[in-house]
């Protein structure tokens, strides 16, 4: 078979290919979107994790001064040093990591950076007192006004190359360490040394050296930056600039801050935590972060990678689909070409049979069966051609018969398609009607709730007011009529509420709210409410409750509704002078409430129907019992939602027992 014949029929090939490409595009699109969302979420989580780790490094560098001071102070505690103040003064003079130091004895400073009797801020003296009281090294961060600090450290305003704003109320932040030099009866004196953080980039540069690309700042109580390495074309370090108010509000209320800081063209993703002094007060904040463009570029790159992978996957899928579609369509194309060749030949020969036998079997079972059937038909036709002339007539008749069967099959197929289409339309119309009826039902129930319950509540309210004789006395007849109106309205409202509850349950919208409750307390409350109704019919209600029934999870409102329905039914169908007993029992699997009456009972043949909606055992026009037959069906469905059940046993003329089973 030549190459042209292999591709002479391509409709099946292209149909399969188009379906496959559409599926691949949909799947790759959904996977790309999902992968992008997942990757973005992972990036955001990693950003938070990176910021938290960066903050740990930042605090480590911030606390480096305290660690070094602790190590240095231990050297001062050696026997040859701790009693010689002159040696200590010389050590501090040679040690350049401290901007100031002083020695306190008896609550006052005796040496201040080599100047006896100089002024010392009270906050530093408090650090010295804490160190003396605790008898151990004390480290903290402290805040001073520039004017006070210059009196303590006169060289402060002559600091070489400083960018500090030299105003009297300028805040100065310093790291402070205090060390007690112990004598025989306690600390003989305290050494206090510190480092000024204003305009000092040692800490922020250390953070940047450990985690390149970080921007870090140290700010004071009102958000003013006193140190940092923020860099931008229009500004350098931004020292003396205030932080964002939202940042200030959160950090200086003792909380960690995550967010963006945007200054001019600078957009950083930062994390910040408060700095506390020795008295536990927030005096500043340590803030560190990365330029947001770092994470933004990462997102863009990952998005491009995902798109590239999706495009490559699409091309691969299309290539595979073309190959598979070609493999699937080739047997049908070849078979079509062979059928065309055989149908145009004057007679079938051995060459045709050899060609059919040489066709590669199809992968699909249906097409392979078609190939085999076609081969068998060709062999059969070849046998017919080899028979004598008398069989030619029979062959022609068989051919005509086959043609008629084919036409009939086509006609039946067309008829079947028409039938399927008609049934589909009918089903669609039926579904549309059901949806419309469902909507009408919902609308009807909403109208019933608003248009009937609202005026009924008004009727009940006004009837109560008239019955209380608030607007004048009523005669006995009027009181009787008012009582009838009130009873009828309450009865009608109960029927409407039951219908609405049944509708809500049918729609699956009824929710229950379980909580631990004591069953006996609920039973006593329900019996107390129904006691008046029973007494009006001269019916006695008693309780036989098992003691020590533990609290159990159920919805008390719905269980009480079920109990009301059952007791109300018992009162309705129990003649005057009868009795009702409400009992409870507890087992390992369930709690059981039993309501037994001495009423008229229910015939055995209709006991299975009493839980059907709107069913009543007698003709409604022949019996005086009120109700529309929703109490038991509604109660049954409420218990099924609880995972429990209602069971009924009755004997006509002797009474009825209803058991409410609640899972323990």
Tokens standing for residue 445: 């129930």
Structure tokens at 86: 């002159």
Of residues 610 and 134, more confidently modeled: 134
Helix (H/G/I), strand (E/B), else coil: 184: coil
Query: Hunting for tokens 């919208």 — which residue is that?
Result: 509
For the stretch 47-86, pLDDT in tens is: 778 888 888 999 999 999 899 888 877 666 555 544 566 6
Burial 604-615 (b: 16+ CB within 10 A, else e): eeebeebbeeee
* pLDDT exceeds 80 at position 150: no
Which has the closest alpha carbon to 561: 487, 517, 613, 501?
A: 501
Is the pLDDT confidence value at 651 over 80?
yes
Predicted local distance difference test score (pLDDT) of residue 592: 92
Q: Write the CB contacts of 573 (distance below 8 Å, at least 6 apart in sequence).
A: 597, 599, 600, 625, 656
Percent of the chain with pLDDT over 70: 68
HSE toward the beta carbon, residue 278, CA cutoff 13 A: 23
DSSP string, 236-278: EETTTPBPPHHHHHHHTTT--EEEEEEETTEEEEEEEEEEE-T
- pLDDT tens, residue by residue, 402-451: 888 888 888 888 888 888 888 888 888 888 887 777 667 656 765 666 66
The pLDDT assigned to 580 comes to 93
Residue 8 has pLDDT above 50, yes or no: no
The C-alpha atoms of residue 461 and residue 469 are separated, in whole angstroms, by 13
On whether the CB atoms of residues 579 and 634 are closer than 8 A, the answer is no
Which of these, 522, 594, 603, 532, lies nearest to 557 by C-alpha position? 522
H helix or E strand, kind and range, residue 220? strand 215-220
pLDDT at 623 over 60: no
Q: Check whether 627 has a pLDDT greater than 80.
A: no
What angle (nearest 5°) sits at the alpha carbon of residue 629, between those of residues 624 and 630?
A: 140
Burial (CB < 10 A; 0-12, 13-18, 19+), residue 641, is middle
pLDDT of residue 119: 79
**Taking the model in full, what pTM does it have?**
0.43
- The rounded distance, in Å, linking the Cα atoms of 193 and 188 is 17
pLDDT at position 7 over 50: no
**Residue 588: which residues within 8 A CB-CB, separation 6 or more?**
664
- pLDDT tens-place string over residues 186-237: 567 888 888 888 888 888 888 888 888 888 889 887 888 888 887 665 555 5
Domains and CATH numbers, the chain: 1-200+298-342 (no CATH), 201-297 (3.30.450.20), 453-504 (no CATH), 511-663 (3.30.565.10)
Q: How far is CA 259 from the centre of its chain?
A: 23
For position 276, what pLDDT does the model report?
A: 93
What is the rounded average pLDDT of the residues 546-575? 88
Per-residue model confidence (pLDDT) at position 211: 84
Residues 467-476, mean pLDDT to the nearest whole number: 77
Task: Count Cβ neighbours within 10 Å for each residue of 148-173 and write b for 16 or more, e otherwise.
Answer: bbbebbeebeeeeeeebeeeeebbbb
Rounded Cα–Cα distance for residues 407 and 449 (Å) = 62
Q: Which of 594, 556, 600 is nearest to 576 (CA)?
A: 600
The total number of residues written for the chain in this structure: 664
Provide mean pLDDT across the span 464-481. Answer: 77
Instruction: Examine the pLDDT at 162 and tell me if it is beyond 60.
Output: no
Higher pLDDT, 477 or 107: 477
pLDDT digits (tens, 9 = 90+) for 516-536: 988 898 999 888 888 888 888
| Mean per-residue pLDDT over the chain, rounded | 76
**pLDDT of res. 346:** 67
The pLDDT of residue 4 is above 80 = no
The token duo for 580 is 């009702």
State residue 622's pLDDT score: 42
- 289 with 270: CB under 8 angstroms? yes
Confidence band (pLDDT; 50, 70, 90) for 9?
A: very low
DSSP 362: P
């Amino acid at each position: 078979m030549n190459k042209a014949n292999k591709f002479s029929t391509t409709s099946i090939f292209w149909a399969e290919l188009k379906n496959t490409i559409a599926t691949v595009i949909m799947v790759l699109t959904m996977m790309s979107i999902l992968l992008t969302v997942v990757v973005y979420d992972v990036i955001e989580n990693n950003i938070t994790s990176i910021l938290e780790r960066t903050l740990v490094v930042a605090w480590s560098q911030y606390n480096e001064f305290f660690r070094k001071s602790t190590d240095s102070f231990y050297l001062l505690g050696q026997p040859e040093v701790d009693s010689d103040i002159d040696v200590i003064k010389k050590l501090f003079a040679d040690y350049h990591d401290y901007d100031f130091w002083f020695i306190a004895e008896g609550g006052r400073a005796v040496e201040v950076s080599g100047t006896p009797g100089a002024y010392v801020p009270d906050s530093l003296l408090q650090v010295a007192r804490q160190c003396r009281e605790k008898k151990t090294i004390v480290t903290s961060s402290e805040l001073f006004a520039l004017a006070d600090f210059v009196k303590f450290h006169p060289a402060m305003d002559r600091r070489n190359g400083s960018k500090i704003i030299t105003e009297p109320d300028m805040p100065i932040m310093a790291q402070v360490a205090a060390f007690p030099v112990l004598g025989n009866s306690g600390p003989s004196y305290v050494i206090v040394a510190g480092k000024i953080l204003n305009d000092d980039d040692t800490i922020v540069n250390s953070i940047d050296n450990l985690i390149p690309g970080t921007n870090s700042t140290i700010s004071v109580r009102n958000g003013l930056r006193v140190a940092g390495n923020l860099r931008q074309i229009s500004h350098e370090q931004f020292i003396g600039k205030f932080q964002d108010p939202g940042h200030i509000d959160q950090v200086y209320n003792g909380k960690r801050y995550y967010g963006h800081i945007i200054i001019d063209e600078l957009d950083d993703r930062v994390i910040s935590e408060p700095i506390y002094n020795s008295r536990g007060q927030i005096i500043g904040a340590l803030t560190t972060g990365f330029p947001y463009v770092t994470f933004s570029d990462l997102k863009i790159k990952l998005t491009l990678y995902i798109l590239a992978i999706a495009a490559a996957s699409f091309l691969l899928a299309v290539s595979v689909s073309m190959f598979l579609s070609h493999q699937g369509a080739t047997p049908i194309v070849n078979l079509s070409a062979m059928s065309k060749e055989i149908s145009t030949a004057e007679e079938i020969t051995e060459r045709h049979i050899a060609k059919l036998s040489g066709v590669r079997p199809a992968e699909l079972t249906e097409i392979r069966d078609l190939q085999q059937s076609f081969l068998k038909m060709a062999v059969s036709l070849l046998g017919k051609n080899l028979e004598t002339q008398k069989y030619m007539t029979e062959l022609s008749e068989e051919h005509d018969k086959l043609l008629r069967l084919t036409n009939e099959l086509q006609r039946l197929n067309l008829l079947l398609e028409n039938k399927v289409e008609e049934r589909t339309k009918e089903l669609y119309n039926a579904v549309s009607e059901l949806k419309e009826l469902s909507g009408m039902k919902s609308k009807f129930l909403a109208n019933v709730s608003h248009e009937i319950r609202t005026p009924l509540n008004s009727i009940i309210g006004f009837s109560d007011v008239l019955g209380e004789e608030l607007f004048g006395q009523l005669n006995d007849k009027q009181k009787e009529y008012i009582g009838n109106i009130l009873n009828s309205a309450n009865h009608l409202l109960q029927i409407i509420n039951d219908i609405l509850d049944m509708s809500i349950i049918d729609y699956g919208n009824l929710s229950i709210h379980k909580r631990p409750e004591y069953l006996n307390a609920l039973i006593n409350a329900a019996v107390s409410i129904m006691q008046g109704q029973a007494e009006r019919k001269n019916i006695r209600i008693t309780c036989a409750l098992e003691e020590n029934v533990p609290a159990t999870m159920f919805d008390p409102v719905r269980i009480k509704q079920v109990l009301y329905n059952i007791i109300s039914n018992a009162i309705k169908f129990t003649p005057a002078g009868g009795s009702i007993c409400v009992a409870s029992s507890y087992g390992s699997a369930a709690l059981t409430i039993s309501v037994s009456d001495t009423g008229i009972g229910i015939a055995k043949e209709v006991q299975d129907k009493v839980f059907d909606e709107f069913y009543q055992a007698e003709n409604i026009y022949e019996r005086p019992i009120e109700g529309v037959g929703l109490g038991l069906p509604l109660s049954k469905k409420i218990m099924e939602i609880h995972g429990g059940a209602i069971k009924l046993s009755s004997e006509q003329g002797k009474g009825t027992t209803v058991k409410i089973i609640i899972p323990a």
